[in-house]
């Protein structure tokens, strides 16, 4: 602890004496005098790229989001771009940002530094969805892209995600190499902050128009939408970047009765109507569900601040609004896309979908029955994008999905996209309504055909340096002393993605895992349960993913089997509860 505190004080003193603004120096001095724990959390490490890039609490410090950490990251990125594309006279980079506090400042800082390093910059003139940044990279033939966002994190966070020339988030080796370049930047004196404005081009409506035209081309049932154009849809952007573009997209698809929530249409990084701007949080749907009940809406949707993830609510058999989890929405989306592709004769035997290893295996079952290959990749949509790049020109991508409310159809961008997803979910709702069904009815149809899968996620939060150490200790314990049984069911297989080995407890055989190393453990139980454990790459949490399944013989048994699965999930949660 003494060595750590000495390192922290050394770094803090560098900020007190270095080329930092006076306001920052005053904040650092105050921490040194009044709050050593806060000082430690602010300086004990440098922010690193995780599954979502650079992300942290805003404030002064090496472990905080501020113009200096953003600046040093950008200088490192610029140096890496120059080494990778030495033959380019002008390297182009696209930049977007969301509605969070300081997002525009960080975006403009990034643009200026890249320009100072001779890069041509395409900077969006206002907040935009993250997926549109991916589209812009490909459209403007950029070498890289940056989006300033902390996605669904609490209001005190912001982040910095780097994308490569294919439009996907950076993956190995580029992520590690950029980190190494950033580490070479010793302080703000190494950063070229002032760039020529002539190298910065503002982009906006033209990019929007081309993006929306591509999205509209993904519609598979325009005739059904025409019949149900007045279907009532409630949508909330949760104070985020989807406020304008997503309703416009729904209109382009043909939906004319989209109702929004005025209080949450307002872009605001303080998220004043929310505890957390996360569509996974049921509380985030409160205002939208109240409106839906008032107008008897057929569909309710909410997106996170950077509009790459969408949550969905639909009526169940009792007429009550039911929140779908990410696996359920993914199941419905994949089921519909594969069904329509087959009906239209588009399945030729060379198509594929992608899911992450923690996403429900019902997706694999649906793909197998449809004659479409399903790939598993590590957690993080960047790995879906990486596979798309690898298979480009060889196979046809239909869709990708992850349980954390992220989905993509179409291959003209390379990240999860809530604009595309929301439009297709609305189309599926109309398609179900044309058969006298709701989305919930459609979900039961899927369970009847493929089995009733149900999942839950439990997150254990541990903040700061001590929290990171505790999470590491938890993973070490599970890795080195795996349980023989969990919740009364024997462990049949243990997969360790860090060691890239899978161990069969019956045969005692080990098999290689053909995926990059990742700090993930999976336990497969005798009763079909799957448990995945991993530290979050973007938050101070360790996550436990539980998946259980049972047969559903007839529709009338839905509630009974649902209760049985809920009990199983509760038992699993109790096994891994930490106080």
pLDDT at 443 over 60: yes
pLDDT of residue 531: 97
pLDDT at 578 over 70: no
* 454-575 matches 45-203 in CATH topology: no
Q: In sequence order, what E strands does 310-372 have?
A: 310-315, 321-324, 351-356
pLDDT of residue 219: 98
The answer to whether residue 151 is catalytic is: yes
Q: What is the pLDDT of residues 322-376, one digit of tens each?
A: 999 999 999 999 999 999 999 999 999 999 999 999 999 999 999 999 999 999 9
pLDDT at 171 over 70: yes
Give one word for 96, left, alpha or beta, with left for phi > 0 and alpha for psi -120 to 50: beta
**Band (124; pLDDT cuts 50, 70, 90):** very high
The first and second tokens of residue 295, run together, are: 């107008």
Q: What is the pLDDT of residues 510-530, one digit of tens each?
A: 999 999 999 999 999 999 999
Average pLDDT rounded to a whole number, residues 391-410? 97
pLDDT at 48 over 80: no
**CATH architecture under which domain 454-575 falls:** 2-Layer Sandwich (3.30)
Give the active site residue among 151, 370, 404, 518.
151
* Separation between Cα atoms, residue 134 and residue 136, nearest integer Å: 5
Whole-angstrom distance between the N-terminal and C-terminal Cα of the chain?
24
Average pLDDT rounded to a whole number, residues 225-242? 98
Question: 106-112: which pairs have CB atoms within 8 A and are 24 or more residues apart?
Answer: 106/65, 106/67, 106/70, 106/148, 106/158, 106/160, 107/146, 107/148, 109/67, 109/70, 109/71, 109/74, 109/193, 110/70, 110/74, 110/146, 110/148, 110/160, 111/195, 111/200, 112/193, 112/194, 112/195, 112/200
In the chain, the percentage of residues whose pLDDT exceeds 90 is 88
The phi and psi torsions of 542 (rounded to 5 degrees) equal -110, 135
| Least confident window among 49-53, 365-369, 467-471, 544-548 | 49-53
pLDDT of residue 381: 94
3-state class of 103 per DSSP?
helix
User: In the predicted model, what is the mean pLDDT of the chain?
Assistant: 95
* Separation between Cα atoms, residue 42 and residue 62, nearest integer Å: 6
pLDDT of residue 463: 82
pLDDT at 538 over 70: no
CATH superfamily of 45-203: Alpha-D-Glucose-1,6-Bisphosphate, subunit A, domain 3 (3.40.120.10)
pLDDT of residue 477: 94
pLDDT at 411 over 70: yes
CATH superfamily of 228-450: Alpha-D-Glucose-1,6-Bisphosphate, subunit A, domain 3 (3.40.120.10)
Average pLDDT rounded to a whole number, residues 289-294? 98
pLDDT at 47 over 80: no
Q: What is the pLDDT of residues 93-123, one digit of tens each?
A: 999 999 999 999 999 999 999 999 999 999 9
**Band (539; pLDDT cuts 50, 70, 90):** confident
Q: Decide if 313 contacts 284 (C-beta within 8 A).
A: no
Domain locations in the chain as residue ranges: 45-203, 228-450, 454-575
pLDDT of residue 53: 64
pLDDT at 552 over 90: yes
pLDDT at 91 over 80: yes
Q: Which residues contact 127 (CB under 8 A, 6 or more apart)?
A: 96, 97, 98, 99, 103, 104, 240, 241, 267
Q: Which helix (H) or strand (E) holds 502?
A: strand 501-504
Average pLDDT rounded to a whole number, residues 382-404? 97
Parallel, antiparallel, or unpaired for β 510-512 and 452-461?
Answer: unpaired
pLDDT of residue 50: 55
pLDDT of residue 52: 52
pLDDT at 2 over 80: no
């Amino acid at each position: 602890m003494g060595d750590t505190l000495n390192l922290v004080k050394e770094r803090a003193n560098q900020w007190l004496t270095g080329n930092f603004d006076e306001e920052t120096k005053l904040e650092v001095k105050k921490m040194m005098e009044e709050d050593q724990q806060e000082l430690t959390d602010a300086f004990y490490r440098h922010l690193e790229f995780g599954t979502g890039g650079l992300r942290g609490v805003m404030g002064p410090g090496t472990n905080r989001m501020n113009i200096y950490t953003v600046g040093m990251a950008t200088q490192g990125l610029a140096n890496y771009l120059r080494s990778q594309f030495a033959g380019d006279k002008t390297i182009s980079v696209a930049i977007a940002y969301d509605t969070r506090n300081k997002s525009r400042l960080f975006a403009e800082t990034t643009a200026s530094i890249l320009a100072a390093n001779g890069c041509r910059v395409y900077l969006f003139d206002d907040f935009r969805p993250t997926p549109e940044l991916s589209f812009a990279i490909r459209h403007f033939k950029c070498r890289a892209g940056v989006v300033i966002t902390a996605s669904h994190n609490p209001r005190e966070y912001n982040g910095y995600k780097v994308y490569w020339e294919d439009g996907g988030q950076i993956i190995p080796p580029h992520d590690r190499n950029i980190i190494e370049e950033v580490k070479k930047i010793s302080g703000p004196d190494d950063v070229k902050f002032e760039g020529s404005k002539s190298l910065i081009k503002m982009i906006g409506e033209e990019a929007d128009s081309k993006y929306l035209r591509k999205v509209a081309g993904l519609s598979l049932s325009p005739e059904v939408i025409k019949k149900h154009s007045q279907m009532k849809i409630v949508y909330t952007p949760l104070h985020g970047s989807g406020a304008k573009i997503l309703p416009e997209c729904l209109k382009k698809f043909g939906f004319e009765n989209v109702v929004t929530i005025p209080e949450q249409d307002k872009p605001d990084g303080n998220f004043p109507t929310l505890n957390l701007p996360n569509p996974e949080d049921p509380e985030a749907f409160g205002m939208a569900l109240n409106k839906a009940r008032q107008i008897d809406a057929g569909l309710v949707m909410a997106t996170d601040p950077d509009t790459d993830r969408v949550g969905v609510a639909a009526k169940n058999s009792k007429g009550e609004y039911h929140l779908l989890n990410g696996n359920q929405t993914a199941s419905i989306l994949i089921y519909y896309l594969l069904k329509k592709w087959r009906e239209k004769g588009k399945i030729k035997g060379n198509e594929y979908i992608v899911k992450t290893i923690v996403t429900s295996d019902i997706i694999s079952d649906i793909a197998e029955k449809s004659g479409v290959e399903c790939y598993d990749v590590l957690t993080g949509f960047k790995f879906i994008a990486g596979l798309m790049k690898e298979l480009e020109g060889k196979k046809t991508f239909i869709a990708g999905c992850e349980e954390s409310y992220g989905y993509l159809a179409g291959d003209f961008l390379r990240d999860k996209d809530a604009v595309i997803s929301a439009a297709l979910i609305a189309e599926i709702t109309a398609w179900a309504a044309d058969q006298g069904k709701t989305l919930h009815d459609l979900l039961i149809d899927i369970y009847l055909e493929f089995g009733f899968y149900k999942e839950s996620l439990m997150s254990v939060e541990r903040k700061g340096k001590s929290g990171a150490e505790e999470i590491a200790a938890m993973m070490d314990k599970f890795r080195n002393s795996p349980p023989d049984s969990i919740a009364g069911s024997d462990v049949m297989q243990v997969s360790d993605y860090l060691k890239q080995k899978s161990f069969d407890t019956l045969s005692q055989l080990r098999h290689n895992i053909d995926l990059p190393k990742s700090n993930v453990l999976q336990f497969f139980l005798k009763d079909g349960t799957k448990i995945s454990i991993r530290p979050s790459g973007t938050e101070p949490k360790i996550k436990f993913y539980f998946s259980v399944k049972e047969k559903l013989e007839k529709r009338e048994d839905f509630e009974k089997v649902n209760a049985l699965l809920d009990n199983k999930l509760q038992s699993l949660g109790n096994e891994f509860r930490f106080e």
